[in-house]
Structures are given as C-alpha cells and as structure tokens.
Structure 1
Amino acid sequence: MRVGMTMFFQNYADWDRYEAKERGGNAPDIDPQSDITRYEEELDTALAAEDQGWDSLWTVEHHISPYTMIPNPVQLLSFIAGATSRIDVGTMVVVLPWHHPLRVAEDITTLQYQLRGRTPYIGFGRGAARREFRQLGFEMGESRERFDEAIQVVQLALTQESFSFHGKHYDFENVTMRPRPKNPQALIGNFHFSWGSPSSAPVGARYGLKPLIIPQRAWAEYHADLEEFARARAEAGHAPARPRIHMNVFCGETEQEAEEGARRYIPQYADSARRNYELDSDHFRSTKGYEHYAAQSTSLRGTGDAAKAMGEAYLANHVWGTPEQCIEKMRGIAAAFHPEEFMLVMRYGDMPRDVAAKSTDLFAREVLPAVQAVPLEEPIVYGAAASI
C-alpha cells in the first residue's frame, strides 16, 4: 500500500478577519507574515517527507480565501520535483473549469519531464466554491460542461501530434502541443477524478479517470458512488480501478493526547471547508449542477449548528488515535475499499508547527511502515460494473 502526504497550507486563524472584510465590515488588512510563516514551515515539512519514507507528496488547488493557499498545484509540485529524488507527486485536484486546457496539458507534460522517471498522479475536479468561481471570472453553473470539454482537450493534446476540437467553450484547429510527453499513456493512465456530489461520480469516470475520494460524507455512502463510477468506466471500456483516498490524520502517543488533538484540530479543518464552500448557504439552490450541495446545505442548516455537525462528521470519518489505533482504522478502510494509496494531510486548522511535527514524526515512525505493508487487493467489482 502506498502512503502519501498532502500539503494544504491553511491559514485558519485568518477566517474571521477575511469574512468580515468580504462582507465589507471594518476589518484590518492581511498580515502577510502569517502567510509567509505558514508557507515556509509547510515547505520544510514537505521536503522532509522523502527521508521519512513517504511514497508521494500531493497538493490541492484553491484561490482567494485562507482555506488553502495553493493557487497552482503543478507549480508547487514542480518545485518538489526539483528538490527531491525519489518521491512521486500528485494533485487533488486541478480544477479544470478554471484553466485553459491546453495550458494544463503543457504544465503536466513539463512536470513529467521534471520528475525524471518518477510518476505524476493528476487528479481533476469541477470545483464547488462560489467565491473562487466569481473572483476567477467563471460561471459556476457551467462547470460540468467546461469540465467535459477540457478533459477531452487535455487527452487529445497529450495523445495526438495534431488535434482539432470544436466545443461551446474551447475551439482548436490543427494544434500541436510541445514538448511532447515522454509517455502520454502513462500520464493518462494516472488521471483521477474527485467528486463532491454522487451524481458527479460518473462525470470523470466516462473519460477513463480513476476514483479519488476526498471524504465529505459517511464512508458507507461512498460504495454507491463507486458503483456508479465503476459502471461509467465499464461502459466506456475501462477496467475496474482502485480508488485513492485522502484523509486528515492526528497521531498521539496516548489515547488522551490523540483525542485532545483530534477534537481540537479536525473540526477546525471541517469548519474551514464549510466556510470556503459556504456549505450551509442556500446559494446552491440556484446553481446548475450543484443540486446535491443544495440538499446538503439544507440538512446542515437543519442541525442548528452546522460547524458542530460537520466537525463531528469529520471526526467520525478521518484517522486519529495512538499509532496502534491509526493502523487499525487505516487497515479497516483498506479492507472496505481496496485503495491504491492513502494521501494524508498532517497539518490543518491552526495546528502549531511543533504539534504537527510531533504527530507526523510519530506517524512516520510507527504507522507508515505498517500501512505500507498492507497488501494491495484487487479492485472491487461492483454489481453495476460486473453486469456490463
């Protein structure tokens, strides 16, 4: 089993100031040093991952808010490629509707060169944060059709010396991308798709992308999503594929230490996600293609305390405990889903550097080797896919 570390670079403590400013209230300007310090500290942590034995480094794409301060995941991974020698890299995700698809194909081809034989795992997604779409100048309700067109353009640019494509949003005539990828099928074979709503699961699957789970709901609910994902892949002629799974982790030497840390910091991450995506807002009701989010927001508002409800859900889903407890939980998830890899974020919320370092070092020493020793299982063949 492969185990990677995910870079998030959150500035959770800035949310109150940021939201007050966004509402037009009287709030101070950003303290740039808070971003600088967090960025430098997290880069140091990432660069230590190779020596600790992690298999890969992953990162995300977000803009504007303190949620995660990584606007260009491929750029960050290009730095990692040059600063390391063994570790693979991945995106979770590149949000295709925010990019010109030819530029995406160029960027990941260049990353393939920079890795010098190592593997880039490229995850794609549609995006779900209203403020990011708005400030980047894109219509959120167009995200599904933009994604559909963009992923086709990326695949054509990588596999065809010259290609043409004529869609609603993108138009190309006899275009050649340079440099040509070293191994286009290796790139495409490691394309993944992450989804938030169950109806979105087949969107990437029908283009041959593999599943990448960033859990926002109870684990049991993802089997239905994966069945639909597998069905769409099978209908398009693709074999069953193992998922890759992202989680937050907090590892403590004692049960008390682990629980105290998890109950402080994991709900902060959940709260940051709630605020970034405005998950308890009713704006999804009027946004095409986000019907699941509209239902979710109604449900969250119905709890009377959306932040608390999300915090409890994340505590139930993610991994925390002593090393032995972390191993047991990850083995259980592996047995349930037969994943290819876990990608774990070790610092989130307002977790201080020393707290994150202690948890990460303990995990790397005592949990990482045990989870890496978990044998890979064959992909689960769900009923809908098996019948095709």
Structure 2
Amino acid sequence: MSRGHVMHVGYSAVFQNPENALPDREVWDQEIRMVSEAEDLGFDSIWTVEHHFTDYTMCPDPVQFLTWVAGKTNLQLGTAVIVLPWHDPMRVAEQVTMLDNLSDGRLILGIGRGLARVEYEGFRVDMNTSRERFLEYAKMLIEGLEQGYVEHDGEFVTQPRREIRPKPEHSFKGRTYAAAVSPEGMPLMAQLGIGLLVIPQKPWEIVESDFAAYHGEWARHHTAPPPPPLSGGFCWVDTNAERAEEKAMEHIGNYYGTVMKHYEFGPKRPHEGVKGYEFYEGISRYIDRHGARGAAEDFTRLMPYGTPDQVLEKLQVIREKIDMAAFFPNLCFAGMNWTEARRNRDLFAAEVLPVLKEWDAPPVGLAATELVAAAA
C-alpha cells in the first residue's frame, strides 16, 4: 500500500583529504562545486558530518556549512551528525533553531556522541563521560526545541531557564535522528524518542537484533511509532560490473583505511578501558583477526557498489532490512580524483537516483513532523 511519499535521496559531502594530498582549499572548492550542482541533478538534500583536527573529514561546523547551502539552494539540510558532547547544548539549540527558521523548516537534525580520541582530547572532554554527556545534552536539546527554552539541572550542566531567540517556528518531532552503532546505544535512542541514522557497517543479522532492541524499548516509552530510519553509505557505480568491484575495493577500502587511522582502530587501542566504548574495542580485535585489508574488504562488501542495477539491488536489501525513508550516499571520498568523483556522482544521478525516487517510502523532514502532529 502506498504511503503517499517516495524515497528521499540526499548527497553527502565529507571533505576528505587523506594524507593531506591536496591543499585543503582545493578539497573544499571541489566539494562545494559538487554540492552546488546537486539540486539540478535531482538530489533532495545535502548532508555533512562534524569532524575536527585531521585529514579524515574537514567540516568542523555542519550548521555553518548548511547555512551556506540553505542560501544557495532549495534543498533540505541534514546534519549527520552534530557531536553533542563537544558543544554547549544551549548554543546548539540556538544554532539549530536559527538555521531551521531561516530555511523555513528544511533542517533534518542528526546528533551523535563521537568516538575519536584526537577530537575528545582536542576539546578537553573526558571520553569516559561521553555517553552520559550525550544523553543529558540530547535531552536538553530535544526538550528545548519543543518548549522554546532550555532549563536543566544535571550532572554536567546547570542551565538557568533561557529563551531560545528567535523562537523555534517548527517542531523537530519526527525529524530528529541519532547515529547509534553500539548495541547499547539503540535502546537509549528509543528512550529519547529519536530516529536512527544507519551506515551499513555490521552484518545484517546483528543490525536486525539492534533494531529489535530499539523497537522494544520504543514501545515501552512511546505510543506513536518511531521515525523510519535514514541510511547513508559509500557508493561506487560503474557500467562494468568487474571494474565496479575493482574500483569499489580500491576507493571504499581506502575510505575504511581513513576510518582506522582517525579512530585508531588496531594496535593503539584508544578505547580500551574507556567507559561506554566496549563495542569499539571489539572493532580493534576484529581488525587484529582479519587484518586491515580483510576488514576493509568486509566493510566494502556491505556497501552499495556495482552497476546501476547492482546498486539498486543492494539498496533494496537495505530497504528490506530497515525500511529506510531516505538514502544519502557518499560519492566523493578517500582522495579519489575529481574526474572519477564527478563521473561516479553523475552515473548515480542518471541511473540510480530516478529509480530510487519511484520507491514508496515514509515522509522525511518537515513532512514527517507534520504527520506526527496530525496523528497526535
């Protein structure tokens, strides 16, 4: 039965500069060009992720970047994610509200807690407190965006009541999401009443178990259904299946190499003994067993790569597993040259995107918020 909406398809900008191979300005100029062309190619939104200090990704302020996007395009705007433990939640509430008001409700809010030691140490925040900080800050932010003010007396923040000005013009119910990778994080997101941002990176049977825990916890705390999840992913599209696999193993594998470097997965063990990061210590052990190359190949195989038809088949698997409402691919990453990146994006836009936008899917963004309000 049709739900009256079709699959939402975004474009994800990551600003990677592995091994500092290019001037940072050149990386930004080229990615900005890709973003500027996205609307004409049929994408529905622009997404970016917050990271700091390294060549991994170079967008330290998603809200600032998306404010520029809002002024240049009519696209929706996705944060995937704002890492709350590194911020003052009162300030985040103000920034989110201002961008959403300026863009007439185009923001899709994604939040997370982060896991890179280099970033936590750079912001002088104890990683052992990350989960508790995230939960406290997320509660402050979510409540503040609905109430129009923030007031809180907690373990990490004592915030006297202050109004958010300008006042929020739209609710964020139904369009607030969190990136949750560890099994322990899934029930916590359900308790907060927010949806899930998913990047394929675990065997699907484990993802299904995580989702079962999420839905079980959701039912204990809420009467309305949860927001349908949104999915990102790293794509390589080619007209030739053999070449597509070769290039996917190269480029997506290289991306996983940047993950291992930035998060120090492997021998350094930055998460060992750190409260709330037990799952990520398991990733280092997995890499020990399978080797860096084996782990990168396993990661790549979870991603939608291949000919356009093969990419669609793999996206259909993700859709069947999690009933995603949106997909926002990464099409330029890991230092691939810009000719390849544009060719990858253009083939996705020409052959994959139009088919995706025929798929029946739940609403995303402000339309989802309006659906929640109508059901209340």
User: TM-score normalized by structure 1?
Assistant: 0.88
Taking the aligned partners of 2:190 and 2:66, their CA distance within structure 1 comes to: 25
Q: Determine helix, strand or coil for the equivalent of 1:189.
A: coil
Taking the aligned partners of 1:349 and 1:75, their CA distance within structure 2 comes to: 23
Taking the aligned partners of 1:242 and 1:174, their CA distance within structure 2 comes to: 33
2:150/2:164 contact within 8 Å kept: no
2:110/2:178 contact within 8 Å kept: yes
Runs of 4+ in 1 over 3 A off after TM superposition: none
Task: Choose from 66, 71, 78 the match for 1:90.
Answer: 78
Structure 1 residue 198, shift from structure 2 partner: 1.0
User: TM-score normalized by structure 2?
Assistant: 0.91
2:148/2:163 contact within 8 Å kept: yes
Identity %: 33
Q: Which residue of 1 aligns with 2:250?
A: 264
Q: Which residue of 2 aligns with 1:385?
A: none
Q: Determine helix, strand or coil for the equivalent of 2:80.
A: strand
Q: Determine helix, strand or coil for the equivalent of 1:286.
A: coil
Structure 1 residue 332, shift from structure 2 partner: 2.3
Q: Determine helix, strand or coil for the equivalent of 2:51.
A: coil
Q: Which residue of 1 aligns with 2:309?
A: 324
Q: Which runs of 5+ in 1 are unaligned?
A: 15-30, 379-388
Taking the aligned partners of 2:150 and 2:348, their CA distance within structure 1 comes to: 47
Task: Choose from 42, 47, 51 the match for 1:53.
Answer: 42
Q: Determine helix, strand or coil for the equivalent of 2:130.
A: helix
Q: Determine helix, strand or coil for the equivalent of 2:70.
A: helix
2:47/2:80 contact within 8 Å kept: yes
Q: Determine helix, strand or coil for the equivalent of 1:324.
A: helix
Question: What whole-Å deviation, never above 9, does each CA across 1:344-384 have from its counterpart, x for those lacking one?
Answer: 00011110000010111111011100011111279xxxxxx
Structure 1 residue 258, shift from structure 2 partner: 1.4
Structure 1 residue 272, shift from structure 2 partner: 0.5
Structure 1 residue 75, shift from structure 2 partner: 0.8
Structure 1 residue 342, shift from structure 2 partner: 0.7
Matched, 1:43 2:32: yes
Q: Which residue of 1 aligns with 2:237?
A: 251
Greater RCO (Cα-Cα under 8 Å, separation 6 or more) = 2
Q: Which residue of 2 aligns with 1:19?
A: none
Q: Which residue of 2 aligns with 1:109?
A: 97
Q: Determine helix, strand or coil for the equivalent of 2:192.
A: coil
Taking the aligned partners of 1:45 and 1:255, their CA distance within structure 2 comes to: 25
Q: Which residue of 1 aligns with 2:200?
A: 215
Structure 1 residue 310, shift from structure 2 partner: 2.2
1:279/1:297 contact within 8 Å kept: yes
Q: Which residue of 2 aligns with 1:274?
A: 260
Bigger shift: residues 129-138 or 152-161: 152-161
Q: Which residue of 2 aligns with 1:24?
A: none
Matched, 1:190 2:179: no
Structure 1 residue 163, shift from structure 2 partner: 4.6
Taking the aligned partners of 1:62 and 1:315, their CA distance within structure 2 comes to: 22
Structure 1 residue 241, shift from structure 2 partner: 3.0
Taking the aligned partners of 1:365 and 1:299, their CA distance within structure 2 comes to: 37
Taking the aligned partners of 2:321 and 2:209, their CA distance within structure 1 comes to: 13
Q: Which runs of 5+ in 2 are unaligned?
A: 1-6, 364-376
Structure 1 residue 106, shift from structure 2 partner: 0.6
Question: What whole-Å deviation, never above 9, does each CA across 1:133-156 have from its counterpart, x for those lacking one?
Answer: 001111111011111110121123
1:190/1:210 contact within 8 Å kept: yes
Q: Which residue of 1 aligns with 2:346?
A: 361
1:331/1:371 contact within 8 Å kept: no
Question: What whole-Å deviation, never above 9, does each CA across 1:103-124 have from its counterpart, x for those lacking one?
Answer: 111111111122134x211111
Structure 1 residue 232, shift from structure 2 partner: 2.2
Matched, 1:3 2:9: yes
Taking the aligned partners of 2:273 and 2:142, their CA distance within structure 1 comes to: 32
Matched, 1:370 2:359: no
Aligned residues: 355
| Code of the aligned partner of 1:136 | F
| Code of the aligned partner of 1:333 | I
Q: Which residue of 2 aligns with 1:146?
A: 133
Q: Which residue of 2 aligns with 1:309?
A: 294
Q: Which residue of 2 aligns with 1:283?
A: 270
Task: Choose from 218, 226, 229 the match for 1:240.
Answer: 226
Q: Determine helix, strand or coil for the equivalent of 1:169.
A: coil
Q: Determine helix, strand or coil for the equivalent of 2:327.
A: strand
Structure 1 residue 260, shift from structure 2 partner: 2.5
